[in-house]
Structure 1
Amino acid sequence: MQFEKLFNMQQALDQHIEEKHNLQEKDLFNKKILALLVEIGELANETRCFKFWSVKPSSEKSVVLEEFVDGVHFILSLGIECGFEKLQYTFQTKSTTLTVSEQFLLIYEKINDFKNSKNDLDFKTLLEVYLQLGALLGISYEEMEKAYFTKNEVNYQRQQNNY
């Protein structure tokens, strides 16, 4: 993945939002953590991986992918907030024995770890386990990037329309 490009795009979007809403001097870390947690829940809801009581299938891949990249936006934004945008990021898709539901729970744990430490190791771990979730959902890095680029444009449009 082109992490440098993704971080640069996210930084520009964050700056645009902060200037538009006069938030340049505000500490947004905890709000971004909460937003990420909510987005992860929305993604889980679209996958329906935990809904053992239902026979309805997962949402279409395009819907799942859009929810997935919402999480990418907030993870990148949190990394920028902590100054981690210039770190080296190289991840290999690892096989895992975790189910999708277990991977979601692991992500929630890693978000909490990062929230408490704000260190680069916990950030990289969070990003890695999130990308592993994408792989479990059948999303390639190429699909993640393309969807991120598309959603980034949508987010700018939303700002222009006073979303």
Structure 2
Amino acid sequence: MNLEKLFQMQKALDAHIEEKHQLQNEDLFNRKVLALLVELGELANETRSFKFWSVKPSSPKDVILEEYVDGVHFILSLGIECGFNQQELDLSMKPSLLTVTDQFLKMYVGISMFQTNRSIHDYIRLFEAYLELGFLLGITSEEMEKAYFHKNEVNYQRQQNNY
């Protein structure tokens, strides 16, 4: 995955949104944290991994992938908000040994820790945990990147249409 390109694209999208909505001088960190938590919940809902009471299957992979890359957008945006860049990141792409449900819970803890500390260390752990979640969901690096590019375009279109 080309993190440099993803960071550049996210930085441009963030700047566009902040300018359009006159938010250049606002601290958006907590709003972005909440947005990430909401997106993570939406992703969990689409996977249905925690719904032990239901026999309904998870949503199709394309729906899960679209929800997943919403999280990628906010993780990148949070890193940018904290002044981090791709050169500081040494992400390890390893498979998780946890269940999907446990990986979601690990994400919630990781988001909370990052919100409290705002450290590069906690950011890397958060990003890695999200990548691990993607792999558990059967999403490849190539699919993540391609879906990110597509959703980035959609987000610009939404801004043009006053979404």
- Asked if Structure 1 and Structure 2 have the same fold, meaning a TM-score greater than 0.5 normalized by the shorter chain, the answer is yes
**Structure 2 match to 1:63:** 63
1:1-150 aligned at under 5 Å gives the runs: 1-150=1-150
Structure 2: give runs of 5+ residues left out of the alignment: none
1 CA distance for matches of 2:113 and 2:87? 19
Contact 1:93 1:135 in 2 (8 A): no
* Pairs aligned (count): 163
Contact 2:103 2:133 in 1 (8 A): yes
2 CA distance for matches of 1:152 and 1:95? 26
Give the secondary-structure state (helix, strand or coil) at the position aligned to 2:139.
coil
The alpha carbon displacement at 1:85 in A equals 1.6
The alpha carbon displacement at 1:88 in A equals 3.8
The alpha carbon displacement at 1:90 in A equals 4.0
Q: Pairwise CA RMSD of aligned residues?
A: 0.9
2 CA distance for matches of 1:91 and 1:118? 17
Q: Post-superposition, which runs of at least 4 consecutive aligned residues in structure 1 deviate over 6 A?
A: none
Letter in 1 for 2:75: I
TM-score, structure 2 as length reference: 0.97
Identity of aligned residues (%): 67
Contact 2:46 2:64 in 1 (8 A): yes
Contact 1:94 1:132 in 2 (8 A): yes
Letter in 2 for 1:45: N
